[in-house]
Structure 1
Amino acid sequence: MDDSKNDNGPLVYINGKRFDLPTDRPEYTLLHFLRENGLTGTKLGCGEGGCGACTVMVSRWNAPAGEARHAAVNACLCPLYAVEGAHVVTVEGLGSSRRGLHPVQSALAQAHGSQCGFCTPGFVMSMYALLRSKGAQRPTAAEVEEALSGNLCRCTGYRPILEAFRSFTLDDGPRGRDYAADCLRRLEGLSWDAEAKSGRERAASGAGICPSSGLPCDCGARDGLAGEDGENDEESAKGESERRGEAGRGACCSKDGQRRTAARAQAAEPIFPPMLTRRPIRALALEGRTSTWHRPLTLEGLLEIVAAHPEARIVGGNTEVGIETKFKNKIYAHLVDPRHVPELQGVRLSPPRGPDGPGSVTFGAAASLTEVLEASRRLATSLPPRSRGTVAALAAQLALFAGPPVRNVATLG
């Protein structure tokens, strides 16, 4: 949708496109909204955040850091209004067999990591979110395994999936470095135009033209698409590609052709919408038939809502309220999202009171379990041995609690 529209209403960006949200659907989950809008690659499996088939990546702008933060999230539990002002990327936003596969998708296919395919979009999005959250760094094999711990597969036994995604790590040798470098180059913005220009230069040196992509490659297609003088005819190849139609695109018998058609998918890979870097987060009070969704931005505002509606339920990751409303048919008239209240966010460290006195750690009630886990791990390695026992035990326990898509939104409070 057009960014020039009035942005005072609730909105979300999905795969780089703006969607204005309905104002009377507090009971909706993100999964409901995605599938109603034709994005059916995100699957409904268990409906309670246990299988990972509905995994998507949610990106939010972190103004103090001046960057977007990315996290895998279970769309089946995520309330629709919880992603207001965020950017959601689904498996459709990465690539397809028609316009070229993303390296994450391609690696999984080449390793035979998909059988029935129902869980595949969730695995792809969990791995993609890990790569985006790591930025220029490459994940370790242990980080890949942890990132996939919230996804279930009943077909493959997991081995081909892990082998596919280990290829993005430095642990897996030269092949891993090549895969990771290719993916990182794409995330950094390698353009299809640059690939096409490089291809034309290769054509001038005698390379063939692929009838599938219409670009130079070494698949041997030039024998069937040569001009009357026997030379390569790029325009003829492109015309043949058009005559073959969309069904004939995106496949090539050479690795070089696969790389080039994959670059086409990269050109459409959604970036974080610039508009969201300028749009401030707003307080919300959206009333539906049975519930009202509140999003206060201050502690005073939160206390006022709770005072006016003592029966209101605080919703962090929706891992409890969502189960109660979905499977126990409970109805809550007022739902309150506390995650934008500064006093309830993050993890704060207090220095020791004296040379031998202990310091303290304050976990915000709206801090995600992932934030708590990462902070506990850092403290467990930085504190002296006699002071690290509690945070080390907390980190070990949280690492076994659910999977990253749940921990990324579930809160302590």
Structure 2
Amino acid sequence: MSDASLEVFDRRESEVRGYIRSFPVVFDRARGSVLTTADGRDYLDFFAGAGTLNYGHNNPLFTRALIDYLERDGIIHGLDMATSAKKAFIEAFEQYVLAPRGLDYKLQFTGPTGANAVEAALKIARQATGRTNIVAFTNGFHGLSLGAVATTGNAKYRQAAGVSLGDVTRLPFDGYLGDGFDTLDLFEKMLHDTGSGLDLPAGVIVEAVQGEGGINVASIPWLQRLRAITEEHGILLILDEIQSGIGRTGAFFAFEAAGIVPDVVTVSKSISASGLPMALVLLKPEVDVWKPGAHTGTFRGNNLAFVSARAALENYWADSAFTDGVDERSAQLRAALDEIVAAHPELGLTTRGRGLMYGLVCDGDTSLAGRVSAEAFQRGLVIETSGAFDEVLKFLPALTITADELDRGLAIVRESLDAVLAA
């Protein structure tokens, strides 16, 4: 059987498998922004592990650090015991993330997935306030374990839970009702009206930029008003930075643009830098009311991830050179997407996003994004879709992508769109 055959996956892997259906090849190697299949074909990557590989595949800075750590028999598994790798990561996080931003957070190392970080955030909000209700927003995505999926909007994921999903009130995200409507008017009205049926929430969970929901960008005034409302009513504000953080929108955190300080922040995906599983929750000290061991997990101490995460902080966040580069590539991406929109006025396309997290929105024909994605894959580009109807072509390249690679990928998108329209 050829290494490139998918037969064993069809025969043995669960029907739950997803991305393999959109990208049906056997990938074997990767470096930077290029994936290579078992039979030697190269693909440009505009997917970046759904935002897990902000620094690219097999970044040599992290590979070297990991090899050195392994060769000296560094601790691999340590639960939540103290290790030199964890100590060095915490110190680097203080130096390169917290201190420059004037942030005072405790670090909770949860199980290694974003969903587990969200579970912990919801639990601590309820413990700290003594209340149970959580406010989440339309088209939000926060994970698929039961607590997290209760705050997730997409019907497909919610129905898969198989049980009722309670203690969450869904409210409209910024822009959900169109221009001219501030959706927080409804939230504020309901909080002040004892007949609204809204139980005073323990917390509000929100993404500054919704990724899976369709690259919906919360405006700075909207986020600032949400922070003010939650402070007025003693509600904890939880920012889900799992996909939009770690430089994805330019700054380390997507919420930084609004100048707000959340009570709780969930972090995962690219925090390990190397693609190794890692997640953490940032807590204001007064919110950290956990009893020892109250939220535990066998793999909450991924020391290899601490090693690569520390290397990323030291190499990419010591000055502004990295974020300056992200800003340059962002301007390049936005200009190219605007050109595509202008070239096809009959399609009613729009663009939205920040940093290197952008969407080409195909509301007029919700199947168009998926068809372009499939055509682009045939031409050597991995790019996914998002949104309630998969109507958004989602641009999520590595933050380390070169200008030439970005141009080549965008050329494939243009060619693919033309081919789909011609067909």
TM-score above 0.5: no
State the TM-score, normalizing by the size of structure 1.
0.29
State the TM-score, normalizing by the size of structure 2.
0.29
Q: Which of structures 1 and 2 has the larger relative contact order (alpha carbons within 8 angstroms, sep 6+)? A: 2
